Structure 1
Amino acid sequence: MQQHPHSSTARPRPATRAARRGAGRLAGAAAAIAAVVGLTTLGGPGAHAAENPYERGPAPTTAGIEAARGPYAVSETTVSSLAVTGFGGGAIYYPTSTADGTFGAVAVSPGYTGTQSSIAWLGPRLASQGFVVFTIDTLTTVDQPDSRGRQLLAALDYLTERSSVRGRIDSSRLGVMGHSMGGGGSLEAAKSRPSLQAAVPLTPWNLDKTWPEISTPTLIVGADGDSIAPVASHAEPFYSSLPSSLDRAYLELNNATHFAPNTSNTTIAKYSIAWLKRFIDNDTRYEQFLCPLPRPSLTIEEYRGNCPHTS
Structure 2
Amino acid sequence: MPWCGRVPTVAPERTTVPIRRLLTSVLAAFVLALATLVALPGTASADESWWRGPAPTQASISAAQGPFATSSTTVSSFSTPGFGAATIYYPTTTTAGTFGGVAISPGYTATQSSIAWLGPRIASQGFVVITFDTNSRYDQPASRGDQLLAALDYLTTSSPVRARVDADRLAVMGHSMGGGGTLEAAKDRPSLDAAIPLTGWNTDKTWPEVTTPTLVIGAESDSVAPVSSHSIPFYNSLTNAQERAYLELNGASHFAPNSPNTTIASTSIAWLKRWVDTDTRYSQFLCPGPSVTLTGAVSDYRSTCPV
Provide the TM-score with structure 2 as the length reference. 0.83
Q: Is the 8 A contact 2:177 2:200 kept in 1?
A: yes
Map 1:1-311 onto structure 2 (within 5 A). 52-243=48-239, 246-296=242-292, 297-309=295-307
Question: RCO higher in 1 or 2 (8 Å CA, sep ≥ 6)?
Answer: 2
Q: Number of paired residues? A: 260
Tell me the amino acid that sits aligned with residue 277 of structure 1.
K
- For residue 89 of structure 1, report the CA deviation from its aligned partner: 2.3
Compare the two structures and name the one with the higher helix fraction.
2
The residue number in structure 2 matching 1:41 is: none
CA distance in 2, matches of 1:245, 1:113: 30
Per-residue CA shift, 1:199-219, capped at 9, x if unaligned? 000000000000000000000
- Percent identical pairs in the alignment equals 67
**Secondary structure in 1 aligned to 2:185?**
helix
8 A contact 2:213–2:241 mirrored in 1: no
Deviation at 1:308, TM superposition (A): 3.7
Rounded Cα–Cα distance in structure 2 between residues aligned with 1:51 and 1:156: 22
For 2:178, the aligned partner's letter is G
CA positional deviation for 1:271: 0.2
Question: How far did residue 307 of structure 1 move?
Answer: 1.7
Q: Deviations over 1:75-131 (max 9, x none)?
A: 000011011121002100000111101000000000000000000000000000000
Between the aligned partners of 1:185 and 1:90, the Cα distance in structure 2 is 17
Q: Name the CA distance, whole Å, in 2 between partners of 1:208 and 1:89.
A: 28
Q: Deviations over 1:217-238 (max 9, x none)?
A: 0000000010000000000000
Separation (CA, whole Å) in 1 of partners of 2:288 and 2:144: 33
Q: CA deviation at 1:245?
A: 6.0
C-alpha change, 1:294 and 1:107, in structure 2 (3 Å) is same
What stretches of structure 2 of length at least 5 have no aligned partner?
A: 1-45
Tell which deviates more after alignment, 288-297 or 214-223: 288-297
Deviation at 1:51, TM superposition (A): 5.1
Higher Rg of the two aligned structures:
2
Q: Secondary structure at the match of 1:182?
A: helix
Work out the CA distance in 1 between the residues paired with 2:218 and 2:189.
23
Partner Cα distance (1:171, 1:246) in 2? 20
> Where does structure 1 differ by over 3 angstroms across 4 or more consecutive aligned residues?
none
Q: Which consecutive residues of structure 1, in runs of 5 or more, have no partner in the other structure?
A: 1-49
Task: Report the TM-score, using the length of structure 1 for normalisation.
Answer: 0.82
1: CA distance between counterparts of 2:272 and 2:306? Answer: 16
- How large is the Cα RMSD of the aligned pairs? 1.1
**How many angstroms apart in 2 are the aligned matches of 1:229 and 1:245?**
22
